[in-house]
Structure 1
Amino acid sequence: MPPEPPAHIAPLTQAHAEQVLEIYRLGIEEGDATFETEPPSWEVFDRSKLPDHRFVALDSGTGDVLGWVAATKVSDRCAYAGVVEHSVYVHPAARGKGVARALMSALITSTEAAGIWTIQSGVFPENTPSLALHHHVGFRVIGTRERIARHHGRWRDVLLLERRSPEIL
């Protein structure tokens, strides 16, 4: 019998809130994941994420959350109805095991099924693991937002990445 996969993907719900926000906090503390300085409350997080496009990777043995991915609208304008921005975070102890790739696959599947043609993200250039993940799942760098904002007292660049769906024409 083949070994059980280390994680399975499920919709992200309030039941996962504490672990999701803790993984977010750990990513914030590392300093190269986001401009945020602390995670939001669950209520703010929940309101801002699109319900059909947010997932968790759950440990197959314990049920613990290993990582999460979620998308937000980029605009309320009708012309941008097919464009979302996403975030993906994996617990430091679960990295390098394909968790982020599985989460991104779930997000891509759900967005394409909904007719969304572009997923975008902003990534610090120093976050090379994130850049490698995004490249692997079909994202490309479309530009650099130089000195876009200050983070812990210093100006930071952000690479703008996007994945255009080959399925939605």
Structure 2
Amino acid sequence: MADGDWEAVRRIYGQGIASGNATFEALVPTKSEFLSSRIPELCLTATDGGAIIGWAAASPTSARGAYRGVVEHSIYVDPEQAGRGIGRILLSELINSARANGYWTIQSAIFPENTASRALHRKAGFREVGRRERIALMAHGPWAGQWRDTILYELRL
């Protein structure tokens, strides 16, 4: 993910937020907020003809030293590009980069309704390790005002 990629990353992130099934975030963070919480070597983009059509990024799950090899990731694909395998490519590259950089676990919390993401993660070897019921109250989109569950997926590298 290069410095000049932000506008496309922001747009695709905003599309995910609007869907109501990608994140609890109600607003796209600023570029500096986004980048300051992400691991640079685990920030990737997918392009087609020079246009960014998806991105993946990971953050540390904890500041504790014992968890230094555990990251939580996100993958977002432009909805107009859905079904082309972009998410699979991004996830594969993220896994390879995490492994090459010494990380040992990748995890993600996915809404139960996000069946495409859940299937993608299972195909990539992630396993479902638990369900967090009514973990947070949705503040935006079609689920606004409703308590939401998330399903935790992880992959040991």
Instruction: Specify the alignment match of 1:3 in structure 2.
Output: none
Instruction: Specify the alignment match of 2:151 in structure 1.
Output: 159
Structure 2: gaps spanning 5 or more residues: 139-143
User: How far apart, CA to CA, are the structure 2 residues paired with 1:24 and 1:108?
Assistant: 21
Instruction: Specify the alignment match of 1:133 in structure 2.
Output: 120
Map 1:56-67 → 2, pairs under 5 A: 56-59=45-48, 61=49, 63-67=50-54
Q: TM-score, normalised to structure 2's length? A: 0.95
Alignment equivalent of 1:39, drawn from 21, 28, 36: 28
The runs of at least 4 aligned residues of structure 1 exceeding 6 Å deviation read none
Pairing 1:80–2:67 present: yes
> SS in structure 1 opposite 2:22?
coil
Instruction: Specify the alignment match of 1:114 in structure 2.
Output: 101
User: How far apart, CA to CA, are the structure 2 residues paired with 1:13 and 1:76?
Assistant: 25
Deviation for aligned residue 1:115: 1.4
> SS in structure 1 opposite 2:33?
helix
> SS in structure 1 opposite 2:25?
coil
User: How far apart, CA to CA, are the structure 2 residues paired with 1:29 and 1:160?
Assistant: 22
Alignment equivalent of 2:77, drawn from 90, 103, 120: 90
Deviation for aligned residue 1:65: 0.5
> SS in structure 2 opposite 1:153?
coil
Instruction: Specify the alignment match of 2:141 in structure 1.
Output: none
User: How far apart, CA to CA, are the structure 2 residues paired with 1:121 and 1:15?
Assistant: 26
User: How far apart, CA to CA, are the structure 2 residues paired with 1:144 and 1:83?
Assistant: 19
Structure 1: gaps spanning 5 or more residues: 1-11
Deviation for aligned residue 1:101: 0.6
Instruction: Specify the alignment match of 1:48 in structure 2.
Output: 37
How many equivalent pairs are there? 152
Q: How well do the aligned residues superpose, as a CA RMSD in angstroms?
A: 0.6
Deviation for aligned residue 1:46: 1.0
Q: Deviations over 1:133-164 (max 9, x none)?
A: 00111111100000001011010000011011
User: How far apart, CA to CA, are the structure 2 residues paired with 1:66 and 1:137?
Assistant: 20
